[in-house]
């Protein structure tokens, strides 16, 4: 149940349109609803300002569509991450209005009525192979109401590509850096910009990259101050955190 529904419920109680017993019935799922295979956090939007997001990895299409249906009965908006094409098709069979961001692996249903921030989030990727995670971060931040700019394929193997675009680093509010291989790009960006940097290691790389572990360790050992690190391939977490930083001080 989102803020507007709770506000409407309380106003109806105050106006005598419904009694307290009925209002309590409407709140019976507080703070979650047990579906057996999942416990739906129905009040996350109220607490956090953004509803629960469905991680589709590891869930069946049937479980995902059932969760979506339950969440949409409480809120006007649902977001799902790590969505493969076949899962999107299953979602679209029950919700024709589902929007699929294929590169990012994100599905949204419904609308969030929130104005875009004037301050920007800049998402930087080392290589084209990092695009799925970079787009996951960028789309997440956009969906959460942020103005997002992108600077892709500017990794350290050709660092002049980054330096040619350094003005973008200087004129943004938060930077998300997405890199696989050895993950050095976050250190360079952190050393150039006076902005908070959120580093995202990806599983892109050859044998000794160990599925992103090498990039993760490089980013954790970053010598540049002002850099924080999320887990391997966690573009969603980076985009969410960037949004939290970017919207501090903004009117909700």
Task: Give the model's pLDDT for residue 252.
Answer: 46
For 49, counting Cβ atoms within 10 Å of its Cβ (0-12 exposed, 13-18 middle, 19+ buried), the class is middle
Provide the percentage of residues in the chain whose pLDDT is more than 70.
Answer: 89
In the predicted model, is pLDDT for residue 145 greater than 80? yes
Provide the percentage of residues in the chain whose pLDDT is more than 90.
Answer: 53
d(CA 102, CA 94): 18
Task: Give the model's pLDDT for residue 219.
Answer: 94
Structure tokens at 211: 């599925």
Q: What is the three-class DSSP state of 176?
A: strand
19-to-11, 192, 221 alpha-carbon distances in Å: 11, 60, 59
d(CA 162, CA 166): 6
Please tell me the pTM assigned to this model: 0.83
As its CATH architecture, domain 120-246 has: 3-Layer(aba) Sandwich (3.40)
Task: Give the model's pLDDT for residue 156.
Answer: 87
Show Cβ contacts of residue 147 under 8 Å, excluding neighbours closer than 6 positions.
116, 117, 118, 119, 120, 121
Annotated domain spans of the chain: 31-110, 120-246
What tens digit of pLDDT does each residue of 180-194 get? 998 899 999 999 999
Q: What is the mean pLDDT of residues 194-201?
A: 96
């Amino acid at each position: 149940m989102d803020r507007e529904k709770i506000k409407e419920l309380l106003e109806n109680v105050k106006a005598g349109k419904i009694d307290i017993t009925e209002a309590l019935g409407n709140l019976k799922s507080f703070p979650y609803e047990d579906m057996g295979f999942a416990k739906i956090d129905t009040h996350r939007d109220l607490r956090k300002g953004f509803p629960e997001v469905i991680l589709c990895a590891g869930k069946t299409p049937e479980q995902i569509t059932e969760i979506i249906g339950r969440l949409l009965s409480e809120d006007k908006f649902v977001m799902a991450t790590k969505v493969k094409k076949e899962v999107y098709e299953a979602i679209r069979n029950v919700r024709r209005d589902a929007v699929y961001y294929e590169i990012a692996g994100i599905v949204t249903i419904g609308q969030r009525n929130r104005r875009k921030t004037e301050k920007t989030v800049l998402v930087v990727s080392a290589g084209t192979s990092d695009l799925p995670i970079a787009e996951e971060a960028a789309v997440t931040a956009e969906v959460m109401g942020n103005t997002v700019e992108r600077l892709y394929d500017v990794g350290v193997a050709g660092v002049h590509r980054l330096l040619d675009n350094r003005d973008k680093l200087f004129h943004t509010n938060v930077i998300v850096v997405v890199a696989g291989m050895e993950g050095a790009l976050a250190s360079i960006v952190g050393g150039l910009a006076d902005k908070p940097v959120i580093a995202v290691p990806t599983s892109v790389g050859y044998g000794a990259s160990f599925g992103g572990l090498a990039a993760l360790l490089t980013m954790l050992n970053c010598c540049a101050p002002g850099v924080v690190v999320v887990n391997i391939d966690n573009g969603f977490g980076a985009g969410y955190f960037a949004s939290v930083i970017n919207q501090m001080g903004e009117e909700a």
